[in-house]
Amino acid sequence: MKTAEGENGNKQYNLGNCYWNVIRTTRDEKKVFQWHLKLAEGGDSNEQFNLGCCYENGIGTTKDEEKAFQRYLKSAEGGNSNGQNNLGNCYLNGIGTTNNEEKAFKWYLKSAEGGNRIGQYVLRNCYKNGIGTPKDEVKAFQWYLKSAEVENSNGQFNLGFCYENGSKKNVNN
């Protein structure tokens, strides 16, 4: 705690985790939020993402979808693949912003290309269902394959389903 109070970013992050994971302290969501806020003010894109989660879910603060959206946007623009994925969710579901499937697709694609397992899986759904992009079963299958290769259990399950139930036209591509 003393190191964290002395402006050491890693120690501040670790202290926030202690309050969240109940390590040698009691769970204190307000302190979790305060430490994420302090670190986010320094521009850390991961902390922008964490703060977005706090605002979206009301962790240590009042639930505020518009603030969640703004923090996810900062995180995404900073290159954080989790922030990019959650920003896609905001655009897809109208969380803190107007629903926009094309923007959702754009951020899912950035997340997926950045190696985010969830983004890869969700991008597959975009191609399969024509969300923000034209339907493309070949690309849908390719993103299932990518998500399965990085051990996304949903991607692995659905890839197996494709093989089992005749989506094999995509297998050889």
pLDDT in tens, 6-30: 444 444 444 444 434 434 445 578 8
In-domain check, residue 66: yes
Could you give the CA distance from residue 138 to residue 121 in angstroms, rounded to a whole number?
14
Higher-pLDDT residue of 8, 45: 45
For residue 133, tell me if it sits in a domain.
Answer: no
First to last CA, the chain: 54
pLDDT digits (tens, 9 = 90+) for 59-75: 899 999 999 999 999 99
Q: Which CATH number does the domain housing residue 109 bear?
A: 1.25.40.10
* 100 band by pLDDT with thresholds 50, 70 and 90: very high
Quote the number of domains for the chain: 1
Residue 77 has pLDDT above 70, yes or no: yes
Q: By residue range, what is the domain housing residue 21?
A: 16-115
At residue 34 the predicted structure's pLDDT band, cuts being 50, 70 and 90, is confident
Mean pLDDT score, 86-113: 97
61: in domain: yes
Rg (CA), the chain: 19
**How many Å apart are CA 66 and CA 95, to the nearest integer?**
7
Residue entry with tokens 């983004």: 119
